[in-house]
Chains A and B, each alone.
Chain A
Amino acid sequence: DTGVSQDPRHKITKRGQNVTFRCDPISEHNRLYWYRQTLGQGPEFLTYFQNEAQLEKSRLLSDRFSAERPKGSFSTLEIQRTEQGDSAMYLCASSLGGRTGGEFAYEQYFGPGTRLTVT
Chain B
Amino acid sequence: DQQVKQNSPSLSVQEGRISILNCDYTNSMFDYFLWYKKYPAEGPTFLISISSIKDKNEDGRFTVFLNKSAKHLSLHIVPSQPGDSAVYFCAASASLSGGGADGLTFGKGTHLIIQP
Answer whether A and B are interacting partners: no
The chain A residues found within 8 Å of chain B, CB to CB, are none
The interface of chain B, by Cβ under 8 A from chain A, is: none
